[in-house]
C-alpha cells in the first residue's frame, strides 16, 4: 500500500491532517448543543478489603468520598490529560460509587453534561478511571491485588452523531 492510498483511507478521520499527523478537530463551525455521557468501571477486591472500606476501617481515611471527589476533579482536567480533547464548560459532573458484594468491590459511574460544540465522553471516562485509581490508592495498604476492570462508555446523547448506548452483549461463556 502506498502512502497516498494509506492517507486516502484515513481521510475521514477528523483527528488526522492531510499529512496523517494528529490534530485537534476544529469545532468552531458547530453549534453548541446539550451533550451528556455516562461511563462506568468496576473495582474488584478481596472480601476483607471490601468489608474494611464499607466499615470505614482504612488507614488513609474515607476511601469513597476521596475517590468521588477525585473523579469530579479529573473530569474537569480531561483536556490537560488527553492531548486532542477540547477544554469544555462542564455543567454537571456526578460520580457514584456503588458497593457490590457480588464482585466483591465497587461499581463506579460518572455522568458528565455540557452545552458545547463537542461531546463529553472522554470526561466521563476520565472521571471513572481516576475515581477507580484513587480507590486503589486509598486501599492499597490493605490489598495490592485490587483490580480495575471494564472501563466503558455506557451512553452518550447529543451532537451530530446522536445518541449511543452499547448493544446488548452476548452472555459470557464459562471456561470448559
Catalytic residues: 137
DSSP helix/strand/coil, 95: strand
Are residues 116 and 36 in contact, defined by beta-carbon separation less than 8 angstroms? Answer: no
- Cell numbers 476501617 correspond to 57
Are residues 148 and 132 in contact, defined by beta-carbon separation less than 8 angstroms? Answer: yes
Are residues 150 and 124 in contact, defined by beta-carbon separation less than 8 angstroms? Answer: no
| Separation CA 88–CA 116 (nearest Å) | 7
Amino acid at each position: 500500500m502506498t502512502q497516498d492510498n494509506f492517507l486516502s483511507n484515513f481521510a475521514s478521520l477528523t483527528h488526522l491532517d492531510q499529512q496523517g499527523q494528529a490534530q485537534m478537530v476544529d469545532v468552531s463551525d458547530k453549534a453548541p448543543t446539550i451533550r451528556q455521557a455516562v461511563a462506568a468501571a468496576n473495582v474488584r477486591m478481596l472480601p476483607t478489603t471490601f468489608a474494611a472500606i464499607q466499615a470505614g476501617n482504612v488507614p488513609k481515611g474515607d476511601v469513597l468520598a476521596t475517590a468521588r471527589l477525585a473523579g469530579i476533579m479529573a473530569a474537569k482536567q480531561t483536556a490537560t490529560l488527553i492531548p486532542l480533547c477540547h477544554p469544555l464548560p462542564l455543567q454537571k459532573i456526578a460520580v457514584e460509587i456503588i458497593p457490590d458484594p457480588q464482585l466483591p468491590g465497587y461499581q463506579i459511574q460518572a455522568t458528565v453534561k455540557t452545552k458545547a460544540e463537542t461531546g463529553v465522553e472522554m470526561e466521563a471516562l476520565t472521571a471513572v478511571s481516576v475515581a477507580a485509581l484513587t480507590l486503589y490508592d486509598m486501599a492499597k495498604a490493605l490489598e495490592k491485588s485490587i483490580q480495575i476492570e471494564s472501563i466503558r462508555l455506557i451512553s452518550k446523547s447529543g451532537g451530530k452523531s446522536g445518541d449511543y448506548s452499547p448493544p446488548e452483549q452476548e452472555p459470557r461463556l464459562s471456561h470448559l
